[in-house]
Amino acid sequence: MDLRQLEILQAIAETGSFTACGRKLHVSQSAISRQIALLEEELGEPLFLRIGRQVRMTPAAENLVQLGQRVFQDIRDTVGGITDHTRALRGTLRLAGGMTVCLYVFPPLLQHLKQVHPQLDIRVTVATAARGVEEIRGGRHDAGLLTLPIEESDLVTVPVLREELLLVTQPTHRLAKKKRVSAQDLAGEPFVLFEPGSATRRVIDSMFVTEKIEPIVVMETENVEIIKAMVKTGLGISIVPYQAVAREVREGQFYCSRIGGHELIRETGWVYARANRVPRMVHELLVAFEEIKGGLELAPKPGAGPVT
């Protein structure tokens, strides 16, 4: 096995076919097939299942792709460390994040990162935590700011945000007239909520289960902006991260309240592939995040507006 064969496997995983791999690496399809055949002969194990014109990776091939990702990352890190630790970053940084992260965290973060490293090319994908994990594991993304918990032995998880989830209604809603909202006040109310299965929804559902409340869910979506729009129209009320509605709360467009007796917290963290050392690009990303973290509105501040 050599680096070229690992490079070919990486390219097939990224492009989805031998033909596209050949175009990417500027070699003939026959040369690609020959290298795969040699590698299969050496391993005594098939790497691809051929179904008509389609090829599908076997678990052995997927393991080699992950190995190649670690090997090539180590090579890049070593070469980068030898050349110059102080130089501006170049190349492409590929990030994944949930909808709220992409709307409210990535904009100031990426703006700061581009100021420090103007030649850095940044690509962002909106992804659920599950998809983000698969993209990082497959080498298609360098890091993700994803909803926790994520416990994978081949990935590093660094918790960095604890976001408070608050009840959000129209300012004219009956709950907006209460000095304190209890969980039982929510019974019978129509809700616009995040989709089932998400970590955020699990936090909310846990509160409902504890209080023995069967919520009336009139809409479910992963898009927090759609949730806000539906609450504004009066379709229902919701429970969302405070930073998603901080501006509207200050401007009096929403009423926002904690639910008495419950601390609803969503934890978010950086996730990236485990390696011998943290890649410089990921290290610079984490440094940039710490620079802007203080400016994020994760929970109401005293006197911040109509929040109880």
CA 251 to chain centre: 29
Q: Quick check: is 130 in a domain?
A: yes
- Are 100 and 190 in a shared domain? no
CA 5 to chain centre: 31
pLDDT on residue 80: 65
pLDDT in tens, 260-293: 999 899 999 999 999 888 888 999 999 999 999 9
pLDDT, the chain, mean? 89
Q: Which residue has the tokens 């089932």?
A: 196
CA 174 to chain centre: 36
Enter the tokens of residue 151.
């416990």
CATH number at residue 51: 1.10.10.10
Q: Which percentage of the chain shows pLDDT scores above 90?
A: 59
Q: How far apart are CA 14 and CA 140, in angstroms?
A: 8
Q: How far apart are CA 171 and CA 176, in angstroms?
A: 6
- Are 138 and 257 in a shared domain? no
Domain of residue 7, residue span: 3-80
- Are 228 and 255 in a shared domain? yes
pLDDT in tens, 102-150: 999 999 999 999 999 999 999 999 999 999 999 999 889 999 999 999 9
Lowest-confidence pick of 20-24, 168-172, 184-188: 20-24
- Are 262 and 172 in a shared domain? yes
pLDDT on residue 304: 47
pLDDT in tens, 234-257: 999 999 999 999 999 999 999 999
In sequence order, what are the residues at sequence separation of 6 or more whose Cβ sits closer than 8 angstroms to the Cβ of residue 307? 166, 249, 256, 257, 258, 300
Instruction: Among 46, 80, 114, give the residue marking a domain's end.
Output: 80
Higher pLDDT, 212 or 180: 212
In sequence order, what are the residues at sequence separation of 6 or more whose Cβ sits closer than 8 angstroms to the Cβ of residue 258? 164, 166, 167, 181, 307, 308
